[in-house]
Amino acid sequence: MSRGLRKKRPRMTDKADHYIAELHIDEDSLPVASIEMQHERRVAVFDLLEENTFRPLDSERGPYVLNLSLQDGRRLVMDVTRTNGSIIGAYNVSLVPFRRVIKDYFMICESYHDAIRTATSAQIEAIDMGRRGLHNEGSRMLTDSLRNQVEIEFNTSRRLFTLICSLHRRTVQ
Give the domain ranges of the chain. 2-172
Return d(Cα 139, Cα 133) in angstroms, integer.
10
Q: Output the tens digit of pLDDT for each of the chain's 173 residues.
A: 444 554 444 333 345 689 999 999 998 888 887 787 788 888 889 999 999 999 999 899 999 999 999 998 889 999 999 999 999 999 999 999 999 998 998 888 888 888 888 888 898 889 889 889 999 999 999 999 999 999 999 999 999 998 888 886 544 33
Q: Name the β-bridge partners of 79.
A: 67, 90
Find out whether 102 and 131 touch, Cβ atoms under 8 Å: no
pTM (2 d.p.): 0.81
Handedness of CA 40, 32, 169, 29 (dihedral sign): negative
